[in-house]
Amino acid sequence: MSTTTVNISAAQVKELREKTGAPMMDCKQALTEAKGDFEQAVVVLRKKGVSVAAKKATRVTSEGSVASYIHAGGKIGVLVEINCESDFVARTDDFKELVHDIAMHIAASDPKYVRKEDVTAADFAREKEIYLSLKDPTISISQLITTKIGKLGENISVRRFARFKVGDAGETIAISKPEQKPE
């Protein structure tokens, strides 16, 4: 049985990092595991991100940021609270970018719920037909958050949001159930 050694160039690692935002060493390991196949390396990194996120899901998120986004000439506005574990992560550009992206997503898609567990069966059936997108239509908000959890190393959660649109009879306000803090 022969083993094939695949040489991974710095340019390949850089390209994967730019596409995924994953740390350099994780990109190199993913490319090595995928034997140089770029698309397979992306899959490896996504699986790793999901694994990291699952391990961190029970950790309390009591820090974070509240952000606003105004769209369409002042006709739509959003306030959103995104939580993380530490104020250090809350101050990073990656976290701020995530909060802004989610606020833009809320403005564009008008979601009614924070978590899928809160969605009624009727609303789930209706929303299933509407594909919610952000910058990349192949990535959902939960996948975006999972990716950032893998990159930043902390649990991140959408706590609540409010969306206002001029002329609407009522605004959308979605609040998740409060987290249980460990004793």
- pLDDT digits 0-9 by tens, 85-127: 999 999 999 999 999 999 998 888 888 777 777 777 777 776 5
CATH topology for 63-175 is Tetrahydropterin Synthase; Chain A (3.30.479)
Domain boundaries of the chain, sorted by first residue: 10-56, 63-175
pLDDT single digits (tens) 59-73: 778 899 999 999 878
Alpha helices in 6-161 (DSSP H): 10-20, 24-33, 38-56, 87-90, 93-109, 121-128, 141-152
Query: % helix / strand / coil in the chain, to the nearest 5?
Result: 45, 15, 35
Residues 6+ apart with CB under 8 A from 167: 75
For residue 131, the model assigns a pLDDT of 45
In CATH, the architecture of 10-56 is Orthogonal Bundle (1.10)
Query: pTM for the full model?
Result: 0.62
